Amino acid sequence: MIHLFSRSNLLKLSLALASIPMLVSCASTDDGSYTAPITQYEKIGGNWILNSVTQTDETTTSTMDLTSVFDFDTFGIQLNVDDDNSPTTFAVTGKAPALLPTSGTWRLGNPFVNSDGSSAQIILNDKVTLTVTAVPGAQRVLEYKLVRTSNGVPFVSYTYNLTAQQ
């Protein structure tokens, strides 16, 4: 009797046939419907009330708490977003000194976390840039820094620490 398949050939053939379903199953993976990526607008957008504001002399690094002076304790900012969490308008409330524009449009320098590890930037009216120093998380605290410069050299900054208004 002549055997067409040796034991080793039969083993190879059965392994080849067993791998066919795996190859076919890889081609038809269904991973669900499209979901838009999460942006920082979802964390930063909203109504914020002031916890504290600190002024820093950028030449000497000395600081001064301004929270209870010049009506800073009344400061609030609304960073509005639409139904798709895209930025729309902002409005500053309270009687604090007008270090920021009081209303207009806002956006982030990058809607996602910067891949180089640099801080997010809030841009008001395409003119004023605020550097985000604390992104809201479980604590819902937003902190940003406004830096004033003269001839490109920083001389004073204001750090705003805010809590989400419920």
Mean pLDDT for 10-22 is 60
What does pTM read for this prediction?
0.76
pLDDT at 28: 66
Separation of alpha carbons 135 and 28, rounded Å: 40
Residue 25 CB neighbours (<10 A): 9
Residue 106 lies in a domain: yes
Taking 90 as the threshold, does the pLDDT of residue 63 lie above it? yes
Residue 61 lies in a domain: yes
- Interval 80-114: pLDDT, tens: 999 999 999 999 999 988 899 999 999 999 999 99
Residue 124 lies in a domain: yes
Residue 4 lies in a domain: no
> What's the 3-state SS for 4-50?
CCCHHHHHHHHHHHHHHHHHHHHCCCCCCCCCCCCCCHHHHCEEEEE
Residue 11 lies in a domain: no
CB 70 within 8 A of CB 97: yes
- Interval 22-46: pLDDT, tens: 555 556 676 778 877 889 999 999 9
- Interval 120-134: pLDDT, tens: 999 999 999 999 998
- Split into its structural domains, the chain has a count of 1
Domain assignment of residue 113, given as a range:
41-164
Residue 110 lies in a domain: yes
Residue 34 lies in a domain: no
Give the CATH number for residue 142: 2.40.128
Residue 122 lies in a domain: yes
